[in-house]
Amino acid sequence: MVTADTIAAIATPYGQGAIGVIRLSGKDAFSIVKQYFRPAKGSFEPKLVRGYTLRYGEWWYQRELIDEVLISFFVQPHSYTGEDVVEISCHGSPYILNRTLESCLDAGARLAEPGEFTLRAFRNGKLDLGQAEAVADLIASESKAAHQIAMHQLKGHFSRELDEMRTQLIEFTGLLELELDFAEEDVEFADRSRFFELLDRIKHRLRTLIESFSLGNAIKNGVPVAILGAPNAGKSTLLNALLGEEKAIVSHIAGTTRDVIEDVITIDGIQFRFIDTAGLRKTSDEIEEIGIRKALERASKARIILYVFDVHASSQSEVHATYELIKEHAPDATILKVGNKADLVQDVEFLDGDILYISAKEKVGIDVLKKALVKEILREKRIDNQVIITNVRHLDALKKSITALEEAERGLRSGLSGELVAIDLRQALYHMGSITGQVVADDILGYIFANFCIGK
Ligand SMILES: Nc1nc2c(c(=O)[nH]1)N(C=O)[C@@H](CNc1ccc(C(=O)N[C@@H](CCC(=O)O)C(=O)O)cc1)CN2
Ligand SMILES: Nc1nc2c(ncn2[C@@H]2O[C@H](COP(=O)(O)OP(=O)(O)OP(=O)(O)O)[C@@H](O)[C@H]2O)c(=O)[nH]1
Ligand SMILES: [Mg+2]
């Protein structure tokens, strides 16, 4: 067990709260408590601490009664970090928390780096790297879907699957390398046809994981939905109807919205990021022109585009032309056609095809539109109980693994000797292992944990 220097941090958010927690981890955690803690009953002996116990008493520092506190004890290796851990629960006042932290630092603890508690948990084998990253995602999750994906990963499903694939590859790679020792005898220990099968299976699975990134990333950061269309189509009215608040200015004057306006809402557990934009048209107004450029730029980054047109006022050719303009700028997005101001027409037989008719102003059809958005994101996919990757680092490692596997396959097909093929396989194994952290360089660890909160 690694028991390094003792780290300390405030583990709760900054500001006033009912309770605030200071966390200490490392070999001096209990003796630091000894210096300032006066138990309400009995005495406190670091050596006699039992894990999973709680003590009540006072925290004194520089002759000042800082607070009444509750202290939780975890004895290594049975703690989050795997080290001796202490949690001091104070009243949630910034002054109390700062003073208590100060006292711990005064006694020799060091201020923890962001993510350092979790880094220690990783180093001590409590979590693998993928799970440690899931902890950060879990804390950041703001919707049921994002929470589900992070929790699935924290529970180690992704890691287990990678481990299984790695084990199969390692076995085969070992056999290939063994052939080297019998080079003169021209033997093949590793059954080539079974190998191609294995490679196909693993590549297919890796590809599915890679494809899941687009969904995973959208869910984690909020699915970007850009609202586009001609001026006065009712885009801002639609944004307000979706959000249920008057966020954007609405007026009968064409060209009202200039800047990009955005806000998030959660629908059926999925967070959507709605982006209202300037109406698309030819204009000589310089500022409006900038707004239109921004609109098209945001269109290119959206996953879904709500193309809003006025069923009452627009001609079929206008509707078509704007649609083509949007499509050109956002070839990868799904474009949903939304025929607005349906309240102004009697029979809606304006355009054929899959058009959603709504009245943004009268809030008619908004729920159907929301359902359509959720359906578009989930399609047939379920997000519970399956691995969905959300992390660019993982995406990168998976892509590199596939490239190496393809190289190995090419080598085998062209009759390359086993030991050379094995080099590519080791490369693939390396990249797969980098996800769970079986192989990982220190600078990568530093980069990963730097993005955590302090105290985590
Ligand atoms: N107060 C508090 N709440 C918290 C945490 C924490 O550290 N402190 N957590 C942290 O962020 C999460 C819980 N994670 C934890 C994971 C493992 C252990 C732990 O003690 N593990 C031992 C126990 C196993 C056993 O029961 O024997 C171990 O792994 O050996 C503690 C917390 C969320 N809530
Ligand atoms: N009758 C009716 N009027 C609507 C509807 N939606 C919007 N309007 C009206 O259409 C006008 C333009 O609405 P906006 O939401 O500002 O249109 P926009 O697309 O954001 O326009 P720009 O920002 O100029 O591009 C306003 O007068 C709205 O009240 C609707 O469903 N029915
Ligand atoms: Mg507008």
Q: Which residues contact 158 (CB under 8 A, 6 or more apart)?
A: 130, 152, 387, 389, 394, 435
Q: Residue 116 has what pLDDT?
A: 95
Which residues are annotated as part of the binding site for Mg(2+)? 236, 257
Amino acid at 430: Y
Q: How far apart are CA 432 and CA 437, in angstroms?
A: 9
Amino acid at 240: N
Q: Which residues contact 124 (CB under 8 A, 6 or more apart)?
A: 1, 2, 77, 81, 82, 83
Q: How far is CA 131 from CA 102, 159, 320, 362, 384, in A?
A: 31, 8, 48, 47, 17
Atom of ligand 1 nearest to the CA of 52: 20
Q: Residue 344 has what DSSP assignment?
A: G
Q: Ligand 2: residues whose CB is within 6 Å?
A: 231-237, 250-252, 254-257, 278-279, 340-341, 343-344, 359-361
Q: What are phi and psi of 334, to 5 degrees?
A: -85, 125
Q: How far apart are CA 133 and CA 440, in angstroms?
A: 14
Q: How far apart are CA 264 and CA 242, in angstroms?
A: 10
Q: Are strands 53-61 and 37-39 parallel, antiparallel or unpaired?
A: antiparallel
Q: Residue 1 has what pLDDT?
A: 47
Q: How far is CA 282 from CA 125, 254, 288, 292, 322, in A?
A: 61, 12, 9, 9, 11
Q: Are 63 and 70 in contact (CB under 8 A)?
A: no
Q: Calculate the dihedral angle through the C-alpha atoms of 213, 215, 216, 221, rounding to the nearest 10 degrees.
A: 120
Identical fold, 7-128 and 135-217+391-437 = no
Q: How many A from CA of 351 to the centre of ligand 2?
A: 20
Contacts of 331-334 with CB under 8 Å at 24 or more apart are: 333/226, 333/299, 333/300, 333/302, 333/303, 333/304, 333/305, 334/303, 334/304, 334/305, 334/376
- Token readout for 197 is 């099968």
- Token readout for 117 is 């508690």
> Which residue bears the tokens 């932290």?
101
3 state DSSP class of 347: coil
Q: How many A from CA of 312 to the centre of ligand 3?
A: 17
3 state DSSP class of 15: coil
Say which CATH topology domain 222-378 has: Rossmann fold (3.40.50)
Q: Are 336 and 372 in contact (CB under 8 A)?
A: yes
Amino acid at 418: G
Q: CATH second-level architecture of 135-217+391-437? A: Up-down Bundle (1.20)
| Domain layout of the chain by residue ranges | 7-128, 135-217+391-437, 222-378
DSSP output for 156-171: THHHHHHHHHHHHHHH
Q: Which class in CATH covers the domain with range 7-128?
A: alpha beta
Q: Which residues of the chain have pLDDT under 70?
A: 1-3, 183-184, 186-187, 189-190, 347-352, 380
122 class by beta-carbon count within 10 Å (0-12 exposed, 13-18 middle, 19+ buried): buried
Q: What is the ipTM of this complex?
A: 0.79
- Token readout for 223 is 């699915």
Q: How many A from CA of 245 to the centre of ligand 3?
A: 14
47 class by beta-carbon count within 10 Å (0-12 exposed, 13-18 middle, 19+ buried): exposed
Which residues are annotated as part of the binding site for K(+)? 232, 251, 253, 256
Beta-strand runs (E) in 41-171: 53-61, 64-74, 85-92, 110-111
Q: Which of 80, 88, 155 to mutate to test the pocket of ligand 1 (most atoms within 8 A of CB)?
A: 80
Q: Residue 209 has what pLDDT?
A: 94
- Ligand 1 binding pocket includes 74 (Cβ within 6 Å): yes
pLDDT tens digits along 132-149: 999 999 999 989 999 999
Q: Please choose, from the candidates 33, 74, 79, 75, the residue with its C-alpha nearest in 3D space to the C-alpha of residue 57.
A: 33
Q: Which of 238, 246, 250 to mutate to test the pocket of ligand 2 (most atoms within 8 A of CB)?
A: 250
Q: Residue 73 has what pLDDT?
A: 98
DSSP output for 257-284: --S-EEEEEEETTEEEEEEE-PPP----
